[in-house]
Structure formats: C-alpha cells, structure tokens
Chain A
Amino acid sequence: MAASPVFLNLDLLALSPPGWGGVLLAGFAASLQLAVGGFGLGLLIGIGGAFGKLYGGPILRDLLEVYTTVIRAVPELVLILLLYYAGTDAVNSLLMLVGLPRVDISGLAAGIFVIGVVQGAYSTEVLRGAIKAIPPGQIEAARAYGMSPFKTLRRITLPAMLPYAIPGLSNLWLIATKDTALLAVVGFSELTLVTRQAAGATKAYMLFYCAAGVLYLTLTLVSNRVIGHIERRARRGIAGPM
C-alpha cells in the first residue's frame, strides 16, 4: 500500500492545489450560507407561526399545530428529501399549471427553503413560549398608548421576548449548523459532501473527516461565545438566572 499513514499527510489540507483545503473551506462557506439563510427563514416563519398560534383564529391555530407536529415527528432526512425533490417539483408543477415558465430553484435556495421550513416549526414553539413569558402589563401599556399592532410588535414584543427566547434560539442555531450536513445526501456541495468527495479522491478518509469535524467544532465553539455575549447584553437589567 503506497499511501503514507493516514493522518500525517497534512499537505493534503493545504489551501491551494494540490491541497484540498481550499475546497473544504468553500464547502464550509456554503454550509454557513445554508445555516444563516435557513435559520433566518426559520425565524421569520417562527414569528408568523407564534403569532398565529397565540392570536389567530381556530382554523389557523389547528393548521399551525399540524405543521409543527408533523415537522417534529418526521426525521429531518426524510423532510429534506421530501422538500428538496417533491417540494421543488410541486412548485414547478403549480407554476406550469398556472401557465408560467418553470422557475430554476438553485440548490442553495432549495436547501435554505428546506432548513427554513424545518427550523420554522421549532422556532414557532420557542417564540410562542417566549412571547407568553412577557409580562402582560407591558403589552397592555402599549395598547393604552394607542400603538398599532405592528408598532407594538416592533417596539415591545420582539425586544421583550428576546431574553426568554435566546436559549431556545441558540440551540436552534446549533441544530441548523449541523442539519446542513444532511444536505450532503441530496448532493448539495456543502462541507460534509466535499469532504466525502475529497476523501474518496485521495483515499485519506480519516484525515478529511477529522478536518471537517474540526471546522464544525470551531463553528460551534465560536457560536457559543457569540451567543453568550448576546445573551448577556439582552439580559442586562434582568435579575439572575431564569
């Protein structure tokens, strides 16, 4: 066997060819884009869902309950397959039915959509719990001042629920960063897939998978630090742990 001991051939990780470091970092950047986009979309869906569940009519509440239950009961891998293949197919079929041309949904857009929908269900629950925890007097005071619902949302509800929501949301962010790895199964070029390709092309499996692990771990540790700062800032003025 001509290959040198699996770990020691660190040249393979060099940043420029023939090292694969550049490709890994490009995959990492794609993963980050997916995670940020998916988390953001999930937050938007979550805000809508939380408000729907709290203040909506009975049908809306039930539909949202079905949405969150289904997403939380079905594995992410199956959801990703369903949304990536069947979802984009359905969107195109709908467009063709109406007579519009098929739209080209890029891999990144489909991936963000998929992760966003999954995150949305969890965000709904987190944000709903956080909004319920806001002292009701604050909302009543806003109404007494004559603020419109949107203004109340913008000025009172969202800032006030933040300290209660941050632990849950930070957990969701970490889940989002790790769920991006599942898109490797549909062939989207994020970090886990390019690692598998690099490992397959060079046969240095251990080295590349460990390198990818280091990148993910770094992301997690940095995220934890940043979230710690955000939490401290959002909690200023609030006494003690919850």
Chain B
Amino acid sequence: MSDTKVTMPAYVPPPPRRLLEPHRIFLIALFGAIVFCAVWFLRWDWLEKYQWKLIHGIWETLFLLFSTAAAGFVLAVILGIVQVTGPRPLAMLARGFCTLIRGTPLLLQLWLLYYGLGSVFAQYPEIRQSMFWPYLRQAWPYGFTALMLSFAAYEGEVMRGAFAGVPRGELEAARAFGMGRFTMFRRIWLPRAFYRALPTLSGETVLQLKSTPLVATITVVDVYAIISRVRQDTYLTYEPLLLLALIYMCLTGILVMLFRFLENRIPSRGA
C-alpha cells in the first residue's frame, strides 16, 4: 500500500511512559506553583480552630461509610440470592425494592425517612414511650438506614449477576458431596460470587463515600457538616470547599489502594 501520512489513524495505544517525562515534570511544577499560591494567598487561619472537629468529622464519615457498606452488603447478598433461587413473589419483591431505591434520588429518600417519619411521630406522641425512642430520636440511624438501603439496592443487582454466574457444576458437585444447602452456600456459592463481584463492589464502596455527605442535611455531623459550619462562621467561599475536596480525594485514594491490596490477595486461577 502507499505510505501516505495518516492524520487520524485507527486507535493505536500510546507507548508506555516513564513517570517523569519532560511534560510531566512541567505539569507537576505548574501544579506545585498553583498549590503554593493557594496556600500563600488564601486564608487558612480557621484551620487551627477546627482541626479536631475536622478529624472527628472524617472519623464519622469513614465510620458511616464502612458500616453502611458492610450492612448493605449483607442485605445485598440476601437480595441477590432471593432473585436467583427464591420463590417468585419474594424475587419480585426484591426486584421491586431495588427498582424503587435506584429510581429515586438518595437525598429524597433521606428526607422522606427523617422528616416523613418525623411527621408521623408528631402525630402519635405515644411512640415516645416505646423502647425504640432513644434511637428514633437521633439523626444517624436514619442516615445509616438510607445509605444502607441505597448500597444494598445497587449491590443487589451486582450480587444477583455474581450468584447467577457461578458455574452450576461447582454447586452440583457440592450437592454430590452431600453438603447441606446452607453449607454449600457458605463454602462454595458465596465465596465464589464474592470474588467475582469484588472489583465492582470495591468501586461501589468508593462511590458510597460520595453519597455520605448527604447525611449532613439531616443534622448528622460528618466532615461536610463541619466544613459547612466553617463556611458559615468565616463567610469564605473557596478555602473550606477546596480543603473538603482535598480531604475526599485523599480518602478516595486511600480506599482505592486498600481495595487493590485486598483484590491482590484473592486466590484465583483465572476465575
């Protein structure tokens, strides 16, 4: 064929590059200059006053993230297995639940749970005598519930696919060995499905981190709520929000590294 110069070739992947190529050094220097300007020219005097509150807020955020992810995962396993094996009414119920939660915004679900139930409490003061009242009174159970249900609904779909994707032969072999149904589930089905789903799950957990700030709107004090308080006390526009973005980027980075470490520890023979 001819050797005409092709100006827009079919996609050719770029050659692998070292980290510190010349253009990278230039960009890193530029970025460093921007960060230096930001630190030098903007107001950071409020940091000292709020640093312990910020740390407490970050702790609260991480606690909320991991607890809702864990509890949501348990619920997702149930939702997934019910859709694969369960009786039809239960499977339809699980599907309906997932569609409902995934079809409405999380903020709306949060407000519906907290303020909607709140208006029910206002109508029936007898509830205050019940033993659940100390929990119904506080804000974090509602935040926890809404985040957990949201995680479970999205993960239910993933787990359904994972359970359906485990090769039937393995399950049949387990039954042939005389394993009871629950033992088979515990030893074969769940672990295999979990390993298949782990990359998606880790991605979704990172996404869950991005949903946690919403609980600040129902008075749960996480790092976003602390920064909001800083914004209202100092009337600064840029600095608190930039710091908050930086905090979340660091948290995301740590989470991604954590999950990559976990993924490398999965035993796999190319499954």
Q: Which residues on A are within 8 Å of B, measured CB to CB?
A: 1, 3, 5-6, 54-55, 58-59, 61-63, 70, 73-79, 81-82, 85-86, 89, 131-132, 134, 136-137, 139-140, 143, 149, 152, 174, 178-182, 184-185, 192, 195-196, 199, 203-206, 209-210, 212-213, 216-217, 219-221
Contact = CB atoms under 8 A, between A and B. Distances in A.
Interface stretch (B9-17, B82-90, B190-198): B9-17
Interface in B82-109: 99-100, 102-109
B74 interface: no
A121 B186 CA distance: 40
Contact of B118 (A131, A152, A205): A205
Contacts of A58: 14, 17, 21, 23-24
Contacts of B26: 59
Interface residues of A, dominant DSSP: helix
Interface residues of B, number: 51
Given A181-B105, A203-B119, A217-B104, A73 B249 contact: yes
A62 B23 contact: yes
26 contacts: A55-B11, A58-B17, A59-B23, A62-B24, A70-B249, A73-B253, A75-B209, A75-B211, A76-B210, A77-B224, A85-B241, A137-B10, A181-B108, A192-B105, A192-B108, A192-B111, A196-B111, A205-B118, A206-B116, A209-B112, A210-B112, A210-B116, A213-B100, A217-B100, A220-B102, A221-B99
A143 B8 contact: yes
A44 B165 CA distance: 36
Interface of B: 6-11, 14, 17, 21, 23-24, 26-27, 99-100, 102-109, 111-112, 115-120, 122-123, 209-214, 217, 224, 237-238, 241-242, 244-245, 248-249, 252-253
B77 to A, nearest CB: 23
B112 A220 contact: no
Nearest to B252: A73
Contacts, number: 144
Contacts of B23: 58-59, 62
A78 B224 contact: yes
Contacts of A210: 112, 116
A1 B123 contact: yes
Given A59-B27, A86-B237, A205 B115 contact: yes
A139 B9 contact: yes
A216 B108 contact: yes
Nearest to B7: A149
Given A73-B252, A205-B115, A55 B8 contact: yes
B145 to A, nearest CB: 15
Contacts of A3: 123
Contact of A74 (B106, B211, B249): B249
Given A6-B119, A179-B105, A192-B108, 6 more contacts: A59-B27, A73-B249, A82-B245, A182-B107, A205-B116, A221-B103
Contacts of A216: 103-105, 108
B244 A178 contact: no
Contact of B107 (A75, A192, A206): A192
A177 B100 CA distance: 14
Contacts of A206: 112, 116-117, 119-120
User: 8 closest A-B pairs (Cβ-Cβ)?
Assistant: A136-B10, A181-B105, A220-B103, A209-B112, A75-B210, A73-B252, A205-B119, A206-B116
Contacts of B100: 213, 217
Given A77-B213, A152-B8, A209 B103 contact: no
Nearest to A178: B105
A61 B21 CA distance: 13
B99 to A, nearest CB: 8
Contacts of B212: 75
B22 to A, nearest CB: 9
Output the residue of B6, B24, B117, B119 with the most chain A CB within 10 A.
B119
Output the residue of A136, A209, A216 with the most chain B CB within 10 A.
A209
Contacts of A89: 237
